[in-house]
Amino acid sequence: MPTALLVHAHSERDSFVTAMRDRIAETLSASGHELIHSDLYEMGFNPVLSPADFGERGNPDHLVYALEQRHNFNAGTLAPDLVAEIEKVKQADLIVLTFPLFWFGTPAIMKGWFDRVFISGEFYGGKTIYERGGMAGKKASAAFSLGGREDMVGARGIHGPLVHGMLRHLFQGTLGYVGMEVIEPFVAHNIPYQPLEVRRKCLDDLGAYFADLDSKPRIPIPDLANFGPRFEQL
């Protein structure tokens, strides 16, 4: 049975984004997935990286966060909340993010989850990136809402491309970077201004999307075979 990790970033139980998370959970469960959850606000997840993440310092004189991630993971002295989240990611075959779009990105609590959980060494490092990344073999996608209309994004929209532009840092630079196969996300446009019947249809469309997720387009990720030893394009 495949396992899906749902990472959710919204503080309100009655929000549309929470309804999106719940519809995805119902759909994936019905298709045979075992579900595990990281509801970041409900957990009170701390998004701020700090020296407190490390029970033992490899270098007590100067903090290099990525190096201490490696040292403490290997020593078994990483903060317990991080160990628990890392194990969830490693257990999952599919990772699904649900969030409202804030300032061309995820909410701070979700960005901090990546900062603290996607640790150097276990997830990435050196030439262990993209298809060689530590999470290779896993799939990832997202469903998010935003206030803007669909015609405000894209090649002709004022904001430019959404998935391949403003959110490239998430889909390529985070999920793809650690080796995940990234599936195009589901986007709910203009949601705060839509009547109830439109929101209900959007949730139905979301359920249909995740019921057939494997058929959806993948986001292009750099192929290391096309790059030299210093990551220059051949």
Q: Where are the domains of the chain?
A: 3-226
Q: Residue 59: its pLDDT value, please?
A: 95
Query: Residue 150's pLDDT is what?
Result: 62
- SS3 category, 187: strand
Q: What is the tens place of the pLDDT at every residue in 11-40?
A: 889 898 999 999 999 999 999 999 999 999
Write the class of the CATH domain 3-226. Answer: alpha beta
**How high is the pLDDT of residue 113?**
97
Q: What is the pLDDT of residue 152?
A: 58
Query: Hey, what amino acid is at 155?
Result: A
Q: What count of other Cβ atoms lies within 10 Å of the Cβ of residue 203?
A: 16
Give the count of alpha carbons within 13 A of 47, CB side only.
13
What residues of the chain score a pLDDT lower than 70? 147-152, 154, 157-163
Q: Which two tokens stand for residue 200?
A: 């209900």
Q: Distance of CA 194 to CAs 51, 154, 204, Å?
A: 44, 21, 15
pLDDT at 99: 94
Q: How far apart are CA 165 and CA 142, in angstroms?
A: 16
Measure CA 13 to chain center. Answer: 20
CB-based contacts of 66-70 (< 8 A; 24+ apart in sequence): 66/119, 66/120, 66/125, 67/120, 69/119, 69/120, 69/121, 70/119, 70/120, 70/121, 70/122, 70/125
Is the whole model's pTM more than 0.85, yes or no? yes
